[in-house]
Structure 1
Amino acid sequence: MDYEYAVKISRLVKTFNKKEVIRYCNMAVPKGRVYGLLGVNGAGKTTILKMLIGLLHPTAGHIKIFGKDIHENKKYILRNVGSIIETPIFYEHLSATENLEIHLSYMGIQDIDIKKTLEIVGLNEIGNQPVSQFSLGMRQRLGIARAIIHRPKLLILDEPINGLDPVGIREIRELFLYLVKEYGITIIVSSHILSEIEQISDVVGIIADGSVIKEIELSTNKNEIADGLEEYFVNIVKGGMKQNV
């Protein structure tokens, strides 16, 4: 069955201690595109991403990934999703290659070129160096390697450029665009760095107070963001918050 959207969220609700953190949220991520999720701290970005990969269960609403309901097809869907949510955790005494070997074994996947994946993320010259000696930026690269090593159809990344220097940020940006072009991977990326979201995203979703209040296709709405994404974002968020007061 064909599907237009890699991810479709409908009237999603998540409550913690009887408080609605996500409130009747709708979200549509076109397949084969980069979707940037923007929101202030506490807006609900990470909560939504955790529900997409099954770490949290919705209180109400529906999530469809690849046209399939996540609860009815969770095993299939998660085998086709890669993610980094919060700080990646590794076996500190093992090398990057050994960490990826364990990950693949856990997933039951064989015949994957680990060396090629490490080359893609810029970790091709680290030898047997243990992860305990990695910089924060190197750890982030390894997290991305682990997320893409099985060539997922959907890649979900929460603040993926944390700890990277400007050169590293550019390299990761180019990597994301390469993955979309060469493998047709759909990417959902959240970040507080608006300039990066503006450079890599095809579509931007703006979340405020637990709901996506605006989705905009950047290439076809240049006049709407003529003053820059930052100005547009601030105006939309302020307007959305006023409506919820």
Structure 2
Amino acid sequence: MRRGLVAIGLVLTAAGCGSPAEVTPPTLEPEWLQFRAVTATAPVAPVDEPVELTGDPATDVEGVWRRVGEEAAALARGLDAPVHDAADTEVLAPFGALTAEEVALLPAEVRLYTPSIHCEQLVPGGDFLDPATDSVLCDTGATAEAATKLWLAPAALDGGDVAEAEAVSGPSDPGSGVVRIRFSEAGTDAWAELTGAQMGERVAIVLGTEVLSAPTVQQAITEGTTDITGGFTPAEAEELVRALTVTE
């Protein structure tokens, strides 16, 4: 089960969901579910043995630069595209030894383009992303080998823009679960604006700190509905629906 859905299950258990006579409000904060524009992508490099760093973890970005060393810091500060040069990749190796908390202090472009920063280092502390800031997460796809780093713009919509949700069977796999949502009036407008601006580009649907899906937008979606496909089982899809909406 996905990490985000494990957390949802804990919330639902604590809230006492499952009694047919109970009416409960949504059990997740709206920020748990976010819809974000993908502004850039970069491949995830194979995981090598990281360089060992000395001293205590840094608590500010200047401390991070000092920990990785002057040469690595100078190169990382100038990155504006994925790194393909083997010598540069070797110089940047110290970033692979940073903690997730240290990586979170770095500018988004450094997190995205530094090849030695891997998916596990990009997962921030807390239950969900700060909706007002840019983030970098991995879209793991079907396998870890297919993972891609995504630079995510601040959230354009969140769970508070969802008016209704239902669990349905996957169109190509009846044994899978899909969450079909209908946005509120304001959410419909925001979704149309986001998908219209991202035509030919990707939009990420994020649950907690995990990218559920990041499809390429073919056209603006103006009718105010969308399907969330995240490799759910039917039970997981039902779980997410209960967490997002009022249940009886």
Q: If the length of structure 2 is used for normalisation, what is the TM-score? A: 0.30
Higher Cα Rg: structure 1 or 2?
2
